[in-house]
Amino acid sequence: MLELAILGFLYDAPLHGYELRKRIAALTGHVRPVAESTLYPAIKRLEKAGLLARTTEPGAVAAPRHVLTLTEEGRTELLRRLAEPAQRDITDENRWFTVLAFLRHLPDPAAQAAVLRRRLAFLQEPASFFYDGDRPLAAEELDDPFRQGILTIARATSRAELTWLRATLDSLGG
């Protein structure tokens, strides 16, 4: 998820590490804060793989600043990851939001629609946070108001997302 966010934000424009960290935190920070000890090793891995380039600019007041730029290989890798997201990128809501944040970069509406159809199929599977054996339980079947709350909120969120997915798929022709 972090690497996808790095590639996605750099797809549009070169960024300083600090600005990149702020953008990633705005996208994912409320659920997964981005520590420097996590971000900078990921940047180094991507740089070592030839997906990022780093240049140094003189600092206005402070030390020189490093600017990160996506290479052509990085652009290709981002598009590959968007077109073929891992299953956990489809099923995990936080990872899904990261994919969704950059899906517009895929130039082919059919490829975008294929990714959205995978998410739609996942959301249409019967599921719950709570089960009676193998049978998913609905909020109305629970006595615990807190578990009812979880399921009620999840149902409303899923319905909103299903509505959005269907409308977007229609607009993409797929």
- pLDDT tens, per residue, the chain with 174 residues: 899 999 999 999 999 888 898 899 888 766 566 777 788 899 999 999 999 999 887 766 667 778 999 999 999 999 999 999 999 999 998 899 999 999 999 999 999 999 999 999 999 988 889 999 999 999 999 999 999 999 999 999 999 999 999 999 999 986
41, 48, 150, 174 from 65: Cα distances, Å: 17, 19, 45, 44
Among the listed residues 22, 36, 166, 30, the one whose alpha carbon sits nearest the alpha carbon of residue 94: 30
pTM of the model: 0.87
Among the listed residues 96, 150, 84, the one whose alpha carbon sits nearest the alpha carbon of residue 123: 96
In angstroms, the CA 131 to CA 129 distance is 7
Local structure of 63: helix, strand or coil: coil
- Enter the DSSP assignment of 143: S
* Residue 64 Cα to chain centre, angstroms: 31
